[in-house]
Structure 1
Amino acid sequence: MISVEPILLQPHVITYYADNILDYVKEVVGVTPDDIQAEILLSVANNQLTSVRSGHGIGKSALESWTVKWFMYSRPFPKIPCTAPTRHQLHDILWAELNKWNRQSADGDLFEWTDERFYHKAHREEWFAVPRTAVKPDALQGFHADHILYIIDEASGVADKIFEPVLGSLSTAGARLLACGNPTNLAGWFYDSHNDNREIYNPFHVDGRNSPRVTKEYIKMIIDMFGEDSDVFRVRVEGNFPKAMPDSFIPLDWVERNSVKKLLIIKPHRIDIGVDVARFGDDQSVLCPVFNRQHQQEPEIYNHNDTMQLAGRVIQMLDRYTDKYGRIPMSVRVDCDGLGVGVYDRVKEVVKQRNMTHVTVIEGHFGGAGGKLFTSDPVRYSNSTGMMWGTIRELLRYNKLTLWYNNSQISQLSNRKYRVNSDGDIELERKEEMKKRGLKSPDLGDALALAIYVPPTMNMAFQM
C-alpha cells in the first residue's frame, strides 16, 4: 500500500480537490479519464443528479470507483450507498474495481476495503461506502448525512420501489447521485431520467462507437451476431433504449443525435420564426428562429402571455436579424389559436407600417385540416398539428435539422404520443392529454414546428 503523502492531509489541499475532481483523479488516483469520463465526472461535481445511459465497455465501473474515492477523500463523514441489480455486478465488478483503484491511489492508506464496507480508518462507523444489492425495498433506506452519494450501477435494472427511498435522502445540498447503465428497459425511473424527467437530471448518452475504450472488433461482433438494426446493438453498442414504443411519435435518439451544444456559425439566406403564444399560466411563449430551414437558433422564452409585449419582442428579433444580415427573406408564423391572434395582427401591422417587404407574416393554426406531408407519403395526418410535427420528424429522421441543445425541448419532442384513428390517419396527442400525464405543454416543440412547416403545396424543398 502506498503511504499517504502528508500534503494530502492538509485542509487547503483537501478543499482544492473537493472543487477539482479531475485533478484529484489524475494526481491522486493516478489515471487520466477520457473526454467522455471527464465530462461525467464534472457533472457529478457540479450537479445533484447525473444519469448516464451507454453502450457496453465505456469504463463505467472505473468512473464510479473514482467518484467514490473523490467523495470519500474530499467530504467529511460521507455516506456512499452503492447498488446494482445483482450481486455479481455489484461485488464482482464495481466493488472489486473500487479496491483496485484504492490500492494504487496516493491516499489509499487512509481507507480500508473489505467485502462489506469501504471506510476511513479513523472513522469506520461514520465515514464509509457500502454495497447493497438492489433486491429488497429497504436496500437503500436509512442513509442520512450532510454528504451523501448514491452510486447506482446497471441502473435500468433497479426497480422503482428500490429507488424511491433515494429521493428522500437527496434533500441536502451536499447530496449527489450517479446512475449508470445500459438502457435495457422502456419503463421505470432510469428510463424517465432520460425522457419525462430529464429536466431534473443531467443526462448523458454515450454511444460506444464514440468511446476510445470500445474496440471495433467488439462492435463488429455484435453487428455480425445480431444485426445493426437489432435491440442488442441499440442497447449494447449505441447506448439507446430498445425500439421506441409504437405510440412515441418522434424517437428520442433522433432528437438527441441532432441536438448540438455548440450551434453552427452560419450566414443565413433566409430566416423563419415560429411564435407559440402561451395560453395558460404555466405555459411559455416561445420565439423560435430557424436559419435556412435547417439550423435552429436559441429560442427566446417568455413566461407571460401579454400579446403586445410579445409582438414587440418579435419586431425586435426581426430588427436584429435585418441589421445583421440585411433584408433577406424572413417569415413569422404565429399560432393564432387563441391569444396569438392579437400577436399576429400587431406584428403584421408593424411590418406593413415600416415597409418591411422582406418579411412575410403567416397565420398558423394547430388542429386545422390534415392530409399527407408529401405526395409520396403512405400515411395521412388527421390535422395540421400532425403535419407540422411530422415535418420535424422527417427532418430529424434524415439528419436535415440541427437543434439547439436543451433538455426541455428534447423531452417535449420525444414524449408526444400518437395513435391511428378510425380513419387510419395519424393523430397526435392533445396538449390537455399530455398535461394529464404530468408533462408540460410542448411550447418549444410547437414553436419549432411553426418555424419550419411548409404547406404541402410548397414543400418541394423538403422532399427527402
Structure 2
Amino acid sequence: MDKNETVELVNFLAEFTHDPLKFVYAAFPWGEGELKDMDGPEKWQADLLADIRDKLKTPSEVIREAVASGHGIGKSALVAWLILWAISTFEDTRGVVTANTATQLGTKTWPELIKWYQRFIGKPLFTITATAIFSTEADHQKTWRIDAIPWSDTNTEAFAGLHNQGKRIIVIFDEASAISNQIWEVAEGAMTDDNTEIIWCAFGNPTRNTGRFFDCFHRQRQYWYTQQIDSRTVRFSNKKTIKQWIEEWGLESDFVKVRVLGQFPNSSENQFISTELATAGRGKHLNEAQYKFAPVIICCDPAWSGGDATAIIMRQGLACSLLANFPRNDNDFVIAQTLAQFEDRYKADAVIIDLGYGTGIYSAGKTMGRSWMLVSFAEKSPDPDCLNMRAYIWKEMREWLKQGGAYPDDQQFYDDLVGPETKPRADGVIQLESKADMKKRGLPSPNKGDALALSFSRHVTKKDTWSVPNKNGLYFANNNQRYTPGYNLRKKYGR
C-alpha cells in the first residue's frame, strides 16, 4: 500500500471516530465470502454500538457497557469489533482486554479478534500478535496498542497504569462474572483521566449473583448501560441445543437462566446461601410474638486487619439486629465495655465471641466479671456432615433463614450472607471457603455473617430472671451470679 492509499484509508476510518455502528457496517465485507449470509450486526450488538455513539457526543463520564447473556449470541465478535474500531479511529488509543481465565482469553477472545482482523479493511495499518494489536508505525507501537492480559490479583499493574490523558482508553472484560473484584477496583482507578474518551465494556454469562459484574445490573445499574440477552433471540444460536436444555432442566432452572436467558441464577454454582433465601430475610418485619419467647444471644466477630470490621449482632429466635460495626478493633477493652453495655441493656442470656481475634476481648470481659463464651471456627462440628464449626454454624444459619429468619435491611449484611462459597469434596462433607480464599476473589471478610452464625454455635436457654441494676450497681440472673464492673461478686458473696 503506497502513501496515498494509506492516507486515504486513514481518512476513511477517521469518519467513524465517534460512530462505532457505522464503522462495523463499513469496515467488513458483509455479504461476501465468509460473511455471505450476514448483512451486519444483531440488534443487541447494534444497540450497544449506538449507545456508545450517542454517549461519545458528550464524553464527560466513563462510558460503561455491560452485557449478560446466554451462550452463542456473538459477544466475542462484538468484542473484536470494539477493539478494531477503538484502535483504528483514534490515534494513540490504549487498551486492555482480559477474561475470566488465560485459556478463555487465549483460545476464544483473541482468536475471534484475529479472525475479524483478517477481514478488516484497515488491516495494513496494524500488527497483531498472540497477545497484542498495535500500530505499524514504529514510533507509535508502544503508545498505540491494545493488549490481551490475563488478570491476576498479584499482578494488577497492567490495569492500574492504563492512563492516556486527552486520548482514548478502552477496557474490555470478557466472561466478567469470574473476574476478581480487586481487578475491577484497580481498573476503576484507570478511569480518572480528564478530557479523555474512556470506554469500559463487560461481557459474560451471568454465572454468579455476587460480585462487580452482578452489581452492574443491580446496585450500580445507574452507571451502566445494561442488556441481558436471551440466546433464543439471536439468529445464529443453536436452537436445537437450547430446546434440549430447556426440556431437560426447565425454563426456571439456574442452568437455563445462565446459559440461555442471560439471567443471574438464584444461587451461584458453589454459593452456600442463595440470593433468594438471603433476599427473603432482608429487612423482614416480625411480630414480637414470633421471637420474644426465645433467649437473647449477643455475638461478636472481631477484626484487626485490612478493611475488615468488628461486628456485634443480637439474635432472639427468628429476629436479628446489628448492634455495632467498628472499623477493625484497636482496643479490646473498648469492645469488651461495649459488649457489656449491650449485655446489660438487652438482658442477654449469652455472649459469644469468635476465638480468632477475640481472646483479648474475652479476657477483658472476664476481668469485668462477665461469663462470656469463646468459639473457634476450627473446632469440631457437632454434625458429621460439616467439616468444622464454621461450616456447621453457617449451615444452621441457612436453616434459620429457611424457617423465616429476619435480619436488617443492610447491603453489607446481605453481601456477607451470599458471599461464601463451598469447596467441593469427594466425601460430600460441607466445607466453606476460608476468609483468605474470599479475599482472593476480591470479597471482604463476611464479619456480619460470621457474627450471626456464631449465635448457632452453642445451645442457649433463656434465663428465668434478669433484674435491672440496683443502687449498688449489681445485676441478678437466674443462677444468682452477680456482676459489677471489674469485680467478681460471686467470689465475694460466696455464691
Structure 1 counterpart of 2:133, from 108, 111, 118: 118
Q: Indicate the residue corresponding to 1:36 in structure 2.
A: 44
- Secondary structure in 2 aligned to 1:19? coil
Name the counterpart of 2:22: 23
The Cα offsets for residues 320-348 of structure 1, whole Å up to 9 and x where unpaired, read as: xxxxxxxxxxxxxxxxxxxxxxxxxxxxx
CA shift in 2, pair 1:369/1:44, >3 Å: same
Q: CA deviation at 1:207?
A: 1.2
Q: What's the secondary structure of 1:177's corresponding residue?
A: strand
Q: Would the aligned equivalents of 2:110 and 2:148 in 1 still touch at CA under 8 Å?
A: yes
- Are residue 246 (structure 1) and residue 277 (structure 2) matched? yes
Tell me if the contact between 2:231 and 2:261 (Cα under 8 Å) persists in the aligned partners: yes
1:93-112 alignment, distance < 5 Å: 93-112=108-127
Instruction: Check conservation: 2:168, 2:197, Cα contact below 8 A.
Output: yes
Partner residue, 2:160: 141
Secondary structure in structure 1 of the residue aligned to 2:278? coil
Measure the CA separation in 1 of the matches of 2:111 and 2:23. Answer: 20
- For 1:116 and 1:84, the matched residues in 2 are separated by 13
Q: Show the 5 A alignment for 1:321-332.
A: none
SS of match in other structure, 1:64: helix
Tell me what 1:56 maps to: 71
Q: What's the secondary structure of 2:106's corresponding residue?
A: helix
Q: Aligned to 2:254, which of 214, 226, 231?
A: 231
User: Which of residues 109, 130, 145 in structure 1 aligns to 2:147?
Assistant: 130
Q: Which residue of 2 aligns with 1:174?
A: 197
Q: Relative to structure 1, is the Cα distance of residues 80 and 425 closer, same or farther in structure 2, using a 3 angstrom cutoff?
A: closer
Q: Following the alignment from structure 2 to structure 1, what is the Cα–Cα distance between the partners of residues 8 and 21?
A: 18
Compared with structure 1, are the counterparts of its residues 209 and 118 closer, same or farther at alpha carbon in structure 2 (3 Å cutoff)? same
Cα distance change, pair 2–421 in 1 and its aligned pair in 2 (3 A): farther
What one-letter code is carried by the residue in structure 2 that aligns with 1:239? G
Are the equivalent residues in 2 in contact too, given 1:29–1:102 (CA < 8 A)? no
Deviation of 1:2 (Å): 13
The equivalent residue for 1:8 is 9
Note if contact 2:20-2:52 (Cα within 8 Å) is conserved in structure 1: no
SS in 1 for 2:197: coil
1:162 maps to 2:170: no
Residues 2, 106 of structure 1: 8 Å contact kept: no
1:369-424 CA-to-partner distances (Å, cap 9, x unmatched) read 99xxxxxxxxxxx9xxxxxxxxxxxxxxxxxxxxxxxxxxxxxxxxxxxx9999x7
Q: CA deviation at 1:229?
A: 2.9
Deviation for aligned residue 1:367: 8.3
8 Å CA contact retained: 1:56, 1:236 = yes
Aligned to 2:97, the other structure's residue is in SS state strand
Contact 2:278–2:414 (CA under 8 A) maintained in structure 1: no
For the pair 1:66 / 2:64, whether they are aligned, the reply is no
Deviations 1:97-123 (A, max 9, x none): 111111111111101111122101012
Contact 2:173 2:201 in 1 (8 A): yes
CA RMSD, 1 decimal: 3.5
Which runs of 5 or more residues in structure 1 are unaligned? 251-365, 371-381, 383-418, 439-464
Which amino acid is 2:162 matched to?
F
Residue 79 (structure 1) shift: 1.0
Matching residue within 188, 208, 211 for 2:231: 208
Aligned amino acid, residue 30 of structure 1: P
SS at match of 1:18: coil
Asked if the contact 1:118–1:128 (Cα under 8 Å) also holds between the matched residues in 2, the reply is yes
Q: Which has the larger radius of gyration?
A: 2
Instruction: Kindly indicate whether the alpha-carbon contact (under 8 Å) linking 2:153 and 2:180 is maintained by their aligned counterparts in 1.
Output: no
- Once residues 186 and 58 of structure 1 are traced to their aligned partners in structure 2, the CA distance between those partners, rounded to angstroms, is 21
- Name 1:448's counterpart in structure 2: none
TM-score, normalised with respect to structure 2? 0.50
Match of 2:174 among 153, 157, 165: 153
Query: How far is the alpha carbon of 1:171 from its aligned partner?
Result: 1.6
The secondary structure found in structure 2 opposite 1:167 is: helix
Q: Distance in 1 between matches of 2:265 and 2:285?
A: 31
Matched residue of 1:25: which SS?
Answer: helix
Are the counterparts in 1 of residues 13 and 23 from structure 2 also a CA contact under 8 Å?
no
The 8 Å contact of residues 44 and 177 in structure 1, kept in 2 or not, is answered as no
Task: Tell me if structure 1 keeps the 8 A contact 2:66–2:226.
Answer: yes
CA deviation digits over 1:20-63, x for unaligned, max 9? 21111111133411111111122334261111111111000000
Give me the whole-angstrom Cα distance separating, in 2, the residues matched to 1:435 and 1:185.
Answer: 17
Equivalent residue letter for 1:7: E
Change (3 A) 1:77 1:248: same
Contact 2:160 2:189 in 1 (8 A): no
